[in-house]
Amino acid sequence: MIQQLTIIGVGLIGGSLARALKQVGYCKTVVGCGRSEAQLQKAVELGVIDRYCTDIAEAVQGADVVLLAVPLGAMASCFKAMQGHLKAEVVITDAGSAKGSVVAAANAAFDQLPPGFVPGHPIAGTERSGVEASFAELYRGRRVIITPLASSSVKAVNSVRQMWQQAGALVEEMTVKHHDEVLAATSHLPHVLAYGLVDTLVSMDESEEIFRFAAGGFRDFTRIASSDPVVWRDICLANQAALLAVLERYQLDLEKLTQQVRDADGDALGTVFIRAKSARDRFIEQLEK
């Protein structure tokens, strides 16, 4: 059981973890920290956290586990603010979507990486944000990737794994580099495409009519464009190399599709669509098992 969990950034991700751990009685006290006192007060009113403060150095004092659930661009300042105020055996983890930048930020902040530092990333979320959007079931049956470092202690890795398992998650391990390559393809690229599509359509002269007649397919495809723009801007910048590689690959394939449409090549288009449908159907079947 965690005696004190300090969550820096009590929104959808951090708030949902707090709710889940409280629900199963795995955490005695949750301390919230953030820039908005109004949001922190709301988190207390909702029963998500037990108390809060806006100063990171104060918030992490006495914590057994610290979770950073802030935009990637804020990681460096958070690590710096907590330095010198942590318990000797504290476990530090995060929920960032790009692990290379988080490790770099920790390296810059600490004289040497703490043995309790275990980067992590819950593959879960919705397009909504804020503590009001949090719910205890968010991680149930969802995957959480942890990326232990050479400096991470076995005890800390096990602590982070068990914490997420208590929240209902399925925990897997990857290297930092492999994580960032996989997430660039499966998460970061789709978000960029959704934002880009909506931005293209809204700039068209007939945009009002386009959106008025948009059906379910448009709504489903662009749902993630309602995600927090600051978070996704930071992700694109933090995982630039891996994202560029998959964007360029997609661009080449899109050029092929464009040419197939231009050539009215029904056979080629059909082959692509059949292959894509088959792959997605297999993916859905695996999720439902």
Token reading at 98: 């790009």
Instruction: Give the pLDDT confidence score for residue 289 in this predicted structure.
Output: 67
CA–CA dist 31, 85 (Å, integer): 15
pLDDT in tens, 151-177: 999 999 999 999 999 999 999 999 999
What are the structural domains, with CATH classification, of the chain?
2-174 (3.40.50.720), 178-288 (1.10.3660.10)
Residue with tokens 């448009």: 218
Question: Which residues does 239 contact at the CB level (< 8 Å), separation at least 6?
Answer: 97, 98, 100, 101, 180, 183, 184, 188
Please give the helix or strand (H or E) that residue 251 lies within, else none: helix 240-262
For the chain, 289 residues long, give each residue's pLDDT as a single digit of tens: 999 999 999 999 999 999 999 999 999 999 999 999 999 999 999 999 999 999 999 999 999 999 999 999 999 999 999 999 999 999 999 999 999 999 999 999 998 899 999 999 999 877 778 899 999 999 999 999 999 999 999 999 999 999 999 999 999 999 999 999 999 999 999 999 999 999 998 888 777 777 777 777 888 888 889 988 988 999 999 999 999 999 999 999 999 999 999 999 999 999 999 999 999 999 888 777 6
Tell which phi-psi region holds residue 280, choosing left (phi > 0), alpha (psi between -120 and 50) or beta: alpha
What sign does the dihedral 126-189-92-34 (CA atoms) show? Answer: negative
Question: Which residues does 124 contact at the CB level (< 8 Å), separation at least 6?
Answer: 13, 16, 138, 139, 142, 143, 144, 169
CA–CA dist 102, 273 (Å, integer): 38
CA–CA dist 202, 211 (Å, integer): 8
CA–CA dist 288, 105 (Å, integer): 37
Instruction: Give the pLDDT confidence score for residue 210 in this predicted structure.
Output: 77
Measured at the CA of 96, the angle between CA 250 and CA 226, to 5 degrees, comes to 60
pLDDT in tens, 30-73: 999 999 999 999 999 999 999 999 999 999 999 999 999 999 99
Token reading at 115: 């043995």
Calculate the CA dihedral of residues 232, 235, 241, 243 and round it to 10 degrees. Answer: -40
User: What are phi and psi for residue 110, nearest 5 degrees?
Assistant: -105, 150
CA–CA dist 141, 144 (Å, integer): 10
Nearest Cα neighbor of 51 from 84, 23, 18, 80 is 18
User: What are phi and psi for residue 5, nearest 5 degrees?
Assistant: -110, 120
Model confidence, pTM: 0.89
